[in-house]
Amino acid sequence: MAPTLKASESGLARIQRAKNEKGWRVGDGEWLVEASKILEPEKNWFLGGPYADGCSQTTWNRFLRGQAIGTAAFQAFCQILGLNWQEVVERNPIDTGSPDSQQTANSRTDWGEAPDVSIFYGRTGELAELKQWVVDDKCRLVAIYGTGGIGKTSLAAKFAQQIQNEFEFVIWRSLSNAPTRAQLLASLLGFLSDRQPPEPNVSHMLDFLRTHRTLVILDGVETLLAAGQPAGKYRDEYQDYAELFKIAAQSDHKSCFLLTGTEKSKEIALWEGKTSPVRSFKLKGLETTAAWEILRERELVEEAEWANLIDRYGGHPLALRIVSATIEEVFANKASDFLRETTFLGEIREVLAQQLQRLSELEKKVMYQLALARVPVSRTGLRESISSCVSGEELTEALKSLGWRSLIETLTEDGEALFTLLPVVRKYVINQNS
Ligand SMILES: Nc1ncnc2c1ncn2[C@@H]1O[C@H](COP(=O)(O)OP(=O)(O)OP(=O)(O)O)[C@@H](O)[C@H]1O
Ligand SMILES: [Mg+2]
């Protein structure tokens, strides 16, 4: 069992401060190269890895969250931050025996591929509402859904971190590789059971949810859902997930499943309600002050233009990260020069392409009409602009489906529902059709 170390509470604050002072950017991995040079100085190290033994993005994330990591990596990370490791280490280190699981004061946690959210802005309203649902109202199934890159995974990670002590167990699993239900259950029960894991079936899972208050976070549920037909249906080979979510939602237990995804599943849409133990949270762009912080990270100049920039991208955090990097690299940090150009999409395209390729033909038509309209449009207005061979029922189905896919925004004006697109989505749709 390899010895491990973790930071004390005050040590963690010093680590965060030192990291911010270094000005390292999220995702560039410079720290891993630096730490690898200390751990294995005889080798040449490059960005992108692989890095020295015991040194990885996951280890770094654990270190920043104050979780136990290998002694050598802990000491190297402190060194690159200019800190004396003995001054930041927790006096009674916990030896977890497993690199991915950890016992904290009140809960056992397995953060899987959860991202590092030490840099996270705003969302206080969203975090408070989620806390109300999960901690106070004891909801059993909560889904955070929203457009690609809007910040679902980050919000779920921040939230789970903040409330972890309310649960005996916290476990995070990414569904990006589309595990079968049996694989997922085996992975969950493998961590949750102390002894030989039981058969990976839903009744064993339910036993656990009943006896131990557990928070299970499943990130990216859209991988389980079918493309090319109305939103919310499972792909053929993932139909059995419906039973797992039904049990999570409707059985009597004391745990919570927190899901994130670009699409809402049919079950959640059916069961959710203001007082129901099943709720869904549609995530929108960042508020201006939080979006401002993203731009500040890049030291852009001309603050007077930033509000325009945030508005043009609807506070979409991934878009703002991409455009601020582009402004720094290509526009000498000047937002005004960038804003004179047409709306730049860069890597956002790939995120949106993945989401839009899932649409049915009618949904694509609706998106195009909404993009052309530029202003919010009513259902009647849409019906007039789309060919007459589309029935009212088909159009209703398509609008509902696009809402579940977080691709259209709905507002009400004079008692009438109007539909529109986020600015980045509009730009993408126009580009695709021109
Ligand atoms: N509150 C925030 N503060 C700072 N950065 C944020 C915030 N929310 C999201 N981001 C950044 O925006 C980017 C996208 O966030 P995230 O991966 O959480 O989005 P997502 O909705 O889960 O995307 P996807 O649909 O691709 O899964 C990340 O680089 C993340 O660091
Ligand atoms: Mg995500």
**Residue 273 located in a structural domain:** yes
Q: Is residue 244 part of a domain?
A: yes
Place of tokens 């960038």: 338
**Residue 300 structural domain:** 288-344
| 393 domain residue, yes or no | yes
Domain count, the chain: 4
- How many angstroms separate the CA atoms of 139 and 118, rounded? 27
My answer on whether 328 and 397 are in the same domain is no
DSSP conformational letter for 287:
P
Q: Where residue 64 falls among pLDDT bands split at 50, 70, 90?
A: confident
Residue 107: per-residue pLDDT: 65
- Pocket flag, ligand 1, residue 321 (CB < 6 Å): yes
Same domain, 260 and 391: no
Tens-place pLDDT, residues 264-277: 888 888 899 999 99
pLDDT digits (tens, 9 = 90+) for 93-147: 333 333 344 555 456 889 998 998 988 999 999 999 999 999 999 999 999 999 9
User: What pLDDT score does 164 carry?
Assistant: 93
Q: Are 151 and 181 within one domain?
A: yes
Q: Which pair of structure tokens corresponds to residue 430?
A: 């126009």
User: Of the candidates 129, 21, 13, which has an alpha carbon nearest to the alpha carbon of residue 80?
Assistant: 21
* Global pTM value: 0.74
CA 394 / ligand 1 centre spacing (Å) = 33
Query: Is any atom of ligand 1 closer than 6 Å to the C-beta of 121?
Result: yes
Note whether 339 and 366 are same-domain residues.
no
Residue entry with tokens 């920043």: 64
**Residue 265 and residue 128 in one domain:** yes
Asked if the structure places residue 353 within a domain, the reply is no
pLDDT value of residue 144 = 97
Strands (E), 332-404: 377-378
Provide the pLDDT for residue 159.
Answer: 97
- Higher-confidence residue: 246 or 374? 246
In short, whether 158's Cβ falls inside 6 Å of ligand 1 is no
Q: Higher pLDDT residue, 229 or 205?
A: 205
Q: Which 3-state string (H, E, C) describes 203-267?
A: HHHHHHHHHCCEEEEEECHHHHECCCCCCCCECHHHCCHHHHHHHHHHCCCCCEEEEEECCCCHH
Torsion of CA 57, 88, 215, 199, to 10 degrees: 70
Cis geometry, peptide bond prior to residue 50 (ω within 30 degrees of 0): yes
- Going by alpha carbons, the residue nearest to atom 8 of ligand 1 is 151
Of 299, 318, 344, which closes a domain?
344
Distance (Å, whole) CA 182 – CA 393: 37
**At 289, which helix (H) or strand (E)?**
helix 288-297
Residue 27 alpha carbon to ligand 1 centre in Å: 12
Q: Poorest-confidence range of 1-15, 226-240, 248-262?
A: 1-15
Is residue 117 domain-resident?
no
**Residue 148 C-alpha to ligand 1 middle, in angstroms?**
9
Separation of CA 221 and ligand 2 centre (Å): 9
Annotate 117-179 with DSSP letters as a single string: -SS----HHHHHHHHIIIIIS--SEEEEE-STTSSHHHHHHHHHHHHGGGSSEEEEEE-TT--
Probe residue for ligand 1, chosen from 25, 152, 258, 318 as the CB with the greatest number of ligand atoms within 8 Å: 318
Cα–Cα dist 303/96, whole Å = 47
Q: Is 410 helix (H, G, I), strand (E, B) or coil?
A: strand
Residues 325 and 367 in one domain: no
Distant-in-sequence, close-in-space partners of 395: CB < 8 Å, separation ≥ 6: 362, 366, 379, 382, 383, 386
CA distances from 99 to 7, 69, 94, 112, 123 (A): 15, 7, 12, 10, 30
Q: Which ligand is nearest to the CA of 219?
A: 2
- Whether 296 and 371 map to the same domain: the answer is no
- The verdict on residue 112 lying in a domain is no
pLDDT, residue 26, reads 60
383: CA distance to ligand 2 center in Å?
33
Q: Where is pLDDT greater, at 29 or 396?
A: 396
CATH of the domain at 407: 1.10.10.10
277 lines ligand 1 (CB under 6 A): no
Ligand nearest to the CA of 126: 1
Measured from the alpha carbon of residue 315, the closest ligand is: 1
pLDDT tens per residue across span 178-219 = 999 999 999 999 888 866 667 888 999 999 999 999 999 999
410 or 23: whose pLDDT is higher?
A: 410
Residue 27 banded pLDDT, cuts 50, 70, 90? low
Same domain flag for 147 and 243: yes
In a domain, 349, yes or no: no
Q: What percent of the chain has pLDDT over 90?
A: 45
pLDDT of residue 42: 82
Please tell me whether residues 131 and 253 are part of one structural domain.
yes
What count of other Cβ atoms lies within 10 Å of the Cβ of residue 352? 23
Instruction: For residue 203, give every residue at least 6 positions away whose Cβ sits within 8 Å of its Cβ, in sequence order, or none.
Output: none
Coil, strand or helix: which one is 409? strand
Q: Which atom of ligand 1 is nearest to the CA of 355?
A: 25
Claim to verify: residue 273 and residue 149 sit in the same structural domain: yes
232 lines ligand 1 (CB under 6 A): no
Distance CA 66, CA 89 (A): 9
Q: Are 203 and 253 in contact (CB under 8 A)?
A: no
Q: How far is CA 190 from CA 101, 185, 186, in A?
A: 11, 8, 6
Give 197: exposed, middle or buried? Use CB within 10 Å, 0-12, 13-18, 19+. middle
Residues 189 and 292 in one domain: no
In a domain, 205, yes or no: yes
Closest CA to 272 of 379, 143, 165, 401: 143
Q: Tell me: do 132 and 275 sit in the same domain.
A: yes
Give the integer Cα–Cα distance in Å for 230 and 248.
24
